[in-house]
Structure formats: structure tokens, C-alpha cells
Structure 1
Amino acid sequence: MALKLAFSPCPNDTFVFHALAHGLVKGAPPVEVTYADVDVTNTAAEQGEFDLVKVSYAALPWLLDDYELLPCGGALGRGCGPLVLTRQDGPQHLDGARVAVPGDRTTAYLLFRLWAQGQQPAAIDVVPFHEIMPAVAAGRYDAGLVIHEARFTYPRHGLTALVDLGEWWEGDTGLPIPLGAILAKRGTVDPAAATEWIRDSVRQAWANPAASRDYVLAHAQEMEQAVVDQHIGLYVNEFTEDLGAEGRKAIEALLGRATDAGLVPQISSSRATAWSS
């Protein structure tokens, strides 16, 4: 029986999972792939819909009873944080502003809430990621929270960055930004085996980048090759192969701060061992 695997159509995910999705990983079972924005997978994972799933680290407090965090395949890094964008003549603070965000359990939004403490936006609306920059440019929102390839394309929309939340996080903590996590469903998937499948898929992607190119571009939402290459180069890094001690420390810092601020539920110590050990 095929495992149900869900990840986004973004280039970093299709690059990482190309080999696994195409039956090129020795010993791995066949997989049935669902492509969905991370805000969708965060919600679907809470319903137990997938065996392996890419979610936001910010969503872990709601998911770890049913899923186990894997130490590979996700997105952590430096210089890759979310941006808060405004028009050139936009606000310099968010008091009274209308803000578009890509999801209420995304890591981007959690970082935004940690950074924006003390500011009082008039409204926060969840908007599909691809609609945020055009909506801010058109004046429907005063600011927008964006991720991924928007780092490379926002000037085309006449927008400016009010804050780079990655720079803020790294400057405040000295740690990389934990963005997306890979989870395995408890009682359904052997986490040790799944870790090896995904690591093999990552290593194959690095060893032969051209093999996944058509697949990546087919799902890249009309991004040109240069932007796709920048996207992969930024978000697929040493943390994708293994979280390591620094990656685990970053996760602990993010969720610890969020818990202390009352933004996410407390995670039991037994569930937190995935990044604290």
C-alpha cells in the first residue's frame, strides 16, 4: 500500500522529494503525493490525513501527539526568513494596519507575532500566499507577510521590506530560522526508516540536480529558472540532511519563546525529545 506523502509545490520541496516521489529510493515503499500549501497541510495533518507530511514548525504543538518529528527533509536556514512588505509609501509600524498573512499556524506568522508584540494591527487576514503581494500593491492591505520566492521577486511589485524577520531572529538569537518540518505518523510509519528514505532522496537531489529539473519547474508556479535555482540554493542546505545540534536548538528556542508568550500550547517533555536530545 502506498504511503500518503504531502508537501508543497515549492522548488525546495519538489527538489528534495523528487527521488522518493518517483520510486528511486531503494527500499522505500511507493508513495501517493499530495501537493498543498503549508497552511493546508498544517490543518490536514491535525486530522491525520497523511503518513508523511511537511508542516510548519509553528504547528508542532498541535501535532506531536499523532506525529513524530523527523531530523531531515525540512527547511531551516540563515538568510531565508519571512518578510513583512509594504508599499513604498506604506506604514513604518503596524498600529492600525491591515495585514495579510499566509496562515495562522505558519512559522512566518509565529515569528511575526513574536516580533510585533506591542504593535496593534487593526486586522490580520489569512490570504493565499500567491495573492499577498498583489493585494498589498493594490492597497487592499497595508502590509503583507511573505515567504519563499517572494524574497527574490517583491521589488517587481513595487514593494519594500518593513522588516526581515529572519534577520531579526538571527540577530536576537544567533540561531537559524526553523521554518518547515517533516513529520511521520505514529503507529503507521517507522521514523528511522522514513529518515533514511528522505536522506537518500536529498542526497540523490544533490548528486544529480538535473534529474529533478523538469519536475521542479512543472510545479514551480511559473517561476523562471533563475528564481527556482535561488530558491533551492537558499532553502535546501545542511539542515535538510540533518537538523544537528544547532537546528534542534533553534526549534527549542522558537517554540520555547512562543510558549512563554502564550502563543502556542505547552509541549510535553516526552514529545520535545525530538529536538532536545
Structure 2
Amino acid sequence: MTLSLAFSPCPNDTFVFHALAHGLVEGAPPVEVTYADVDVTNTAAERGEFDLVKVSYAALPWLLDSYDLLPCGGALGRGCGPLVLAAGPTADLTGQTVAVPGDRTTAYLLFRLWSARRPPARIEVVPFHEIMPGVAEGRFGAGLVIHEARFTYPRYGLTALADLGEWWEGETGLPIPLGAILAKKGSVDPVAAAGWVRESVRAAWRDPAASRAYVLEHAQEMEPDVVRRHIDLYVNQFTENLGEEGHAAVRTLLDRAAAAGLVPAGG
């Protein structure tokens, strides 16, 4: 049996899944890997396309009838939230067009919670790599960015209007839940899958050099220092085990979003 596995080409995901993707996890079946941005995997998972898949926590209310949430392999943390960027110093988004990386991403859900009292005039879903250049060129009034953009946005002459991770932590005291790993019901045993994923995480930590070439191959021209900082930020204790604090962060996010009418209740 070969399992289909989908995750992003970002360094945190390739680092985490290197061992599993290369048949280095004892007892795990072979996997066929698809690399796709999370906005793509969110909608693909809704169609049931993959056995194991990385999605946004914000997409869980639409997916948990068909998938089980694994307690490992995902992305949660502190100091790693999405940023709202602009070409100038103003924090007033009224009347602005804001570019976002996907309409069911955790980043966009956090943005909607944060901007409820000052919503922009228009939202445009834009491929992630086009957001910062588009803001710098004036095509968008602001942009919502994630991942390595935390380290590179000054190169575009942009200003961070808000760090939604800092906002979330200040509001809740909890880490920010970004990306989740799901196992398709009836296709893969979630307990076994969690064991394979957790061992892949631990293998990455035991020998970081083993995955270096694989990570850099998919890192979309990121400099090695940015890759290292990216992994250090997004691969942490919650990647190995969500634990009580991680589960509390997920419940709080989805409960607040449901109370605001942004996601279905009971996700």
C-alpha cells in the first residue's frame, strides 16, 4: 500500500517529512508526495484527495467529517504569526484592497478577527510570491504574509502594520495554530500515522544534515540562513506533540471564529 501525502515545499514541511518521504521511518508504508501551497491542499482535502495532508487549522471545520487531526507534524508556535504589510506607516485599512494568500488559511482567519472593527474595502486572493511585490508596486494597499516573509519583507521597503501572532498571543496567551496534519478516515489509521509522522520529526532533529539538500531543493531560492531561521521558528515542541496547550489554542481559534460567524460551529 502506497499512501498519498501532500504538504508545502516550505522548509519546515520538507524538514519534518524528509524521513517519511524517503522511506526512512521504520514500519511506515511508502508514500507518494505532492508539493502544494496550503491554499491548494485545503481545497484538495475537502475533495478527499490525499491520505495524509497538511492544511490550515482554519479549514478544519470543513474537513473533520472526513479526516482525523493528528497530534503532531503541524505548525504552531509563538512569535511566528502572519504579518500585515504596507508600503507606508498607516494602519488604517479602510477603503484599501488587501492581498491574502488564501481564503481558508489561518492567516486570513486571524486577519478577519483582527480587522473586524476596521475591515478593508476589498480582499484579493493572490499567490503568496506575488503579495510583497504587489504591495511595493502599489497594486494593493496592504498584504497579508506568512512564513519566510517575516525575514524578507524589509527588502521590498515595506512596513509591518501588525503582527497577528503578537496580537493573538496578547488576546489569548496561547500559541498561534497555523498548519495541521490530517489523516483520511477509512484510509489510514490515525494512531499509526501519528507514530510515523512523529518519528519523522524526531529523525529530522537527530540528523538535521540528512535533509539539508532536500530542503534547499524545494526552498524556492531562499538563502540558507533564511531557511535555517524558518525551520527554527516553525518546527518546535508542538510539531512533536500538540499537547494540552496546542489543543487549547486550536479550540480557542475555532470557537472565536465560530462565535464571529466566520466558520461553521462545532469544528
Where do 1:240-259 residues align within 5 Å?
A: 240-259=239-258
Specify the SS of the correspondent of 2:13: helix
Where do 1:188-207 residues align within 5 Å?
A: 188-207=187-206
- Distance in 2, matches of 1:91 and 1:135, equals 17
Q: Shift in Å at residue 230 of structure 1?
A: 0.1
Specify the SS of the correspondent of 2:166: helix
Q: Which amino acid aligns with 2:71?
A: P
- Distance in 2, matches of 1:262 and 1:120, equals 15
Q: Shift in Å at residue 162 of structure 1?
A: 0.3
Q: Look up the match of 2:22.
A: 22
Q: Look up the match of 1:236.
A: 235
Q: Look up the match of 1:271.
A: none
Conservation of the 8 A alpha-carbon contact between 1:42 and 1:105? yes
Q: Look up the match of 2:6.
A: 6
Q: Deviations over 1:202-226 (max 9, x none)?
A: 0000000000000000000000100
Q: Shift in Å at residue 120 of structure 1?
A: 2.8
Conservation of the 8 A alpha-carbon contact between 1:3 and 1:52? yes
Where do 1:200-239 residues align within 5 Å?
A: 200-239=199-238
- Give RMSD over aligned pairs: 0.7
- Distance in 1, matches of 2:118 and 2:43, equals 27
Specify the SS of the correspondent of 1:214: helix
**What TM-score, normalized to structure 1?**
0.95
Q: Look up the match of 2:129.
A: 130
- Distance in 1, matches of 2:89 and 2:167, equals 20
- Distance in 1, matches of 2:119 and 2:209, equals 47
- Distance in 2, matches of 1:121 and 1:208, equals 46
Conservation of the 8 A alpha-carbon contact between 1:12 and 1:236? yes
Q: Which amino acid aligns with 2:64?
A: L
Q: Shift in Å at residue 91 of structure 1?
A: 3.3
Gaps of at least 5 residues in structure 2 are none
Q: Shift in Å at residue 90 of structure 1?
A: 5.1
Q: Shift in Å at residue 122 of structure 1?
A: 1.5
Q: Is residue 2:51 matched to residue 1:51?
A: yes
- Distance in 1, matches of 2:114 and 2:21, equals 37
**What TM-score, normalized to structure 2?**
0.99
Specify the SS of the correspondent of 2:86: strand
Q: Which amino acid aligns with 1:28?
A: A
Conservation of the 8 A alpha-carbon contact between 1:90 and 1:142? no
Q: Look up the match of 1:273.
A: none
Q: Which amino acid aligns with 2:10?
A: C
Q: Shift in Å at residue 266 of structure 1?
A: 1.1
Q: Which amino acid aligns with 1:137?
A: A
Q: Shift in Å at residue 93 of structure 1?
A: 1.1
- Distance in 2, matches of 1:12 and 1:267, equals 29
Q: Is residue 2:85 matched to residue 1:85?
A: yes
Q: Deviations over 1:24-67 (max 9, x none)?
A: 00000000000000000000000000000000000000000000
- Distance in 2, matches of 1:134 and 1:230, equals 22
- Distance in 2, matches of 1:210 and 1:234, equals 17
Where do 1:47-126 residues align within 5 Å?
A: 47-87=47-87, 89=88, 91-126=90-125
Conservation of the 8 A alpha-carbon contact between 1:75 and 1:236? yes
Q: Look up the match of 1:261.
A: 260
Specify the SS of the correspondent of 1:105: coil
Q: Deviations over 1:228-273 (max 9, x none)?
A: 00000000000000000000100010000000000000126xxxxx
Q: Which amino acid aligns with 1:118?
A: R
Q: Shift in Å at residue 6 of structure 1?
A: 0.1
Q: Deviations over 1:83-116 (max 9, x none)?
A: 00001x2532111011000000000000000000
Gaps of at least 5 residues in structure 1 are 269-277
- Distance in 2, matches of 1:108 and 1:254, equals 11
